[in-house]
Chain A
Amino acid sequence: MKEKPDVLQGTLALMVLKTLDVLGPQHGYGIARRIEQISGDILALNQGTLYPLLLKLEHEGAIASEWGASENNRRPRFYRLTAIGRKQLQTETRDWNQTAAIIARFFEVQAEDLP
Chain B
Amino acid sequence: MRFLRRFFIRLSNFTAGRRADQRLQEEMAEHLALQTEENLRAGMSPPEARRQAALKLGAAQAIREHHHAEQSLPLAENFLFDLRYAFRMLYRSPGFSLIAIATMALGVGATTAIYSVIDATLLHPLPYHHPSELVRLEANLPGVGAHDIGLSIPELRDLQNSGIFQYVSLSFFGTNNLTGSGQPASIASKSVTPAYFAVLGVDAQLGRTFDPHDATPGFNNEVVISDGLWKRAFGADPHIIGKTLRLDNDPAHVVGVMPASFRDQGQTSKERSTDLWAACGFFGDPAPPPMRSTRFPFDTIARLQPGLSPEAAQARLSALVASLKKQYPADYPSQGAWTLHLTPLAETLVSNVRQSLILLFGAVGLVLLISSVNVANLLLARASARGREMAVRQALGAARMRLVRQLFTESLLLFVLGGITGFAVLFCARKFLLRFVPESLPRLNDISISWGVLAFAIVVSVAAGTIFGLAPAWLTSRLNLTETLRQEGRGSNGSRRRSRLRHALVIGELALSLVLMIAAGLLLRSFWDLFQVQPGFNPTRVTVIEMSLPNPNDPKTDIYGTATQEAVLLREVLRRNRTIPGVEETAVSDRAAIPLGHSQSDRGMTPLVREGQEVRSSQPPLIDTLIVSPEYFHVLGMTLLRGRLFVDQDLEHTPLVAVINQAAARTYWPNQDPVGKRVRSSDDLGRAGPEWITIVGVIADARTESLADAGIPQIYLDIYQRPAKFLAFYLRGRVDPAAIAAQVRTRIQSVDPELPVFRGETLDDVLSSSLSVRRFSMVMVALFAATALLLAGLGIYGTISFLVNEQSREIAIRLALGAQRRDILSMVLRQGLTLAAVGAGVGLAGAFLVSHLMAGLLYGVSPYDLSIFASVTAVLTAVAIASSYIPALRAMRLDPITTLHAE
Q: Which chain A residues have a beta carbon within 8 Å of chain B's beta carbons?
A: 27-29, 32, 46-49, 51-52, 55-56, 59-62, 74-77
Contacts and interface: CB of A to CB of B under 8 A. Distances in A.
Interface stretch (B5-13, B330-338, B423-431, B772-780): B5-13
B59 to A, nearest CB: 7
B20 interface: yes
A25 B396 CA distance: 44
Contacts of A60: 2, 5-6
A77 B31 CA distance: 10
A32 B67 CA distance: 17
Q: Which of A29, A48, A77 has the most CB of B within 10 A?
A: A48
Q: Secondary structure of the B side of the interface?
A: helix
A28 B6 CA distance: 21
A59 B2 CA distance: 8
Interface in B329-387: none
B67 A55 contact: yes
Contacts of B26: 77
A28 B30 contact: yes
Given A48-B57, A51-B63, A77-B23, A56 B30 contact: no
Contacts of A28: 27, 30-31
Contacts of B34: 27, 29, 76
Given A55-B70, A74-B33, A76-B30, A48 B6 contact: no
Contacts of B543: none
A59 B20 CA distance: 12
B5 A59 contact: yes
Given A29-B35, A48-B63, A61 B2 contact: yes
Contacts of A76: 27, 30, 34
B30 A52 contact: no
B670 interface: no
Nearest to A77: B27
B704 to A, nearest CB: 80
Contacts of B70: 52, 55-56, 59
B58 interface: yes
Contacts of A62: 2
B584 to A, nearest CB: 93
Nearest to B59: A48
Interface residues of B, number: 28
B28 interface: yes
A48 B58 contact: yes
Contact of A77 (B30, B63, B67): B30
A27 B28 contact: no
A74 B142 CA distance: 99
Q: Top 7 closest A-B pairs, CB basis?
A: A46-B58, A48-B63, A48-B58, A59-B6, A29-B34, A52-B66, A52-B70
A17 to B, nearest CB: 13
B60 interface: yes
Contacts of A55: 20, 24, 67, 70-71
Contacts of A29: 30-31, 34-35
B14 to A, nearest CB: 12
B192 to A, nearest CB: 66
A28 B29 CA distance: 11
A49 B27 contact: no
B435 interface: no
Interface of B: 2, 5-6, 9-10, 20, 23-24, 26-28, 30-31, 33-35, 56-60, 62-63, 66-67, 69-71
A74 to B, nearest CB: 6
Contacts of A48: 28, 31, 57-60, 62-63
Nearest to B23: A77
A52 B27 CA distance: 12
A46 B58 CA distance: 5
Contacts of B5: 59-61
Contact of A52 (B33, B59, B67): B67
Contacts of B67: 51-52, 55
Contacts of B9: 59
A51 B24 contact: yes
Interface centre among A46, A52, A56, A76 (most CB of B within 10 A): A52
Contacts of B66: 49, 52
Contact of B30 (A46, A49, A61, A74): A74
A48 B62 CA distance: 9
Report which residue of B23, B34, B62 has the largest number of chain A beta carbons within 10 angstroms of its beta carbon. B34
Contacts of A75: 30
B30 A47 contact: no
15 contacts: A28-B27, A28-B30, A47-B56, A47-B58, A48-B28, A48-B60, A49-B66, A55-B70, A56-B6, A60-B2, A61-B2, A62-B2, A76-B27, A76-B30, A77-B26
B33 A49 contact: no
A32 B34 CA distance: 11
A62 B3 CA distance: 12
Contacts of B62: 48
A67 to B, nearest CB: 9
A49 B2 contact: no
A76 B10 CA distance: 24
A20 to B, nearest CB: 16
Contacts of B6: 56, 59-60
* Most central of B6, B27, B35, B71 by chain A CB within 10 Å: B27
Interface centre among A29, A56, A75 (most CB of B within 10 A): A29
Given A56-B70, A77-B30, 11 more contacts: A27-B27, A28-B31, A29-B35, A47-B58, A48-B57, A49-B66, A52-B69, A55-B70, A55-B71, A59-B6, A76-B30
Contacts of B58: 46-49
Nearest to B63: A48
A80 to B, nearest CB: 15
Contacts of A52: 63, 66-67, 69-70
Contacts of A51: 24, 27-28, 63, 67
Contacts of B30: 27-29, 74-77
A25 to B, nearest CB: 15
Contact of A46 (B2, B57, B71): B57
Contacts of B27: 27-28, 51, 76-77
A28 B23 CA distance: 12
B15 to A, nearest CB: 15
Contacts of B71: 55
A51 B26 CA distance: 12
Nearest to A56: B70
Contacts of A61: 2, 5
Contacts of B24: 51, 55
A100 B2 CA distance: 25
B566 to A, nearest CB: 91
Contacts of A47: 31, 35, 56-58
Nearest to B68: A52
Contact of A59 (B10, B35, B69): B10
A41 B20 CA distance: 30
Contacts of B31: 28-29, 32, 47-48
Contacts of B33: 74
Nearest to B32: A29
A76 B895 CA distance: 74
Contacts of B35: 29, 47
Contacts of B63: 46, 48-49, 51-52
Contacts of B60: 48
A62 to B, nearest CB: 8
Nearest to B34: A29
A69 to B, nearest CB: 13
A62 B69 CA distance: 19
A62 B9 CA distance: 14
A76 B23 CA distance: 10
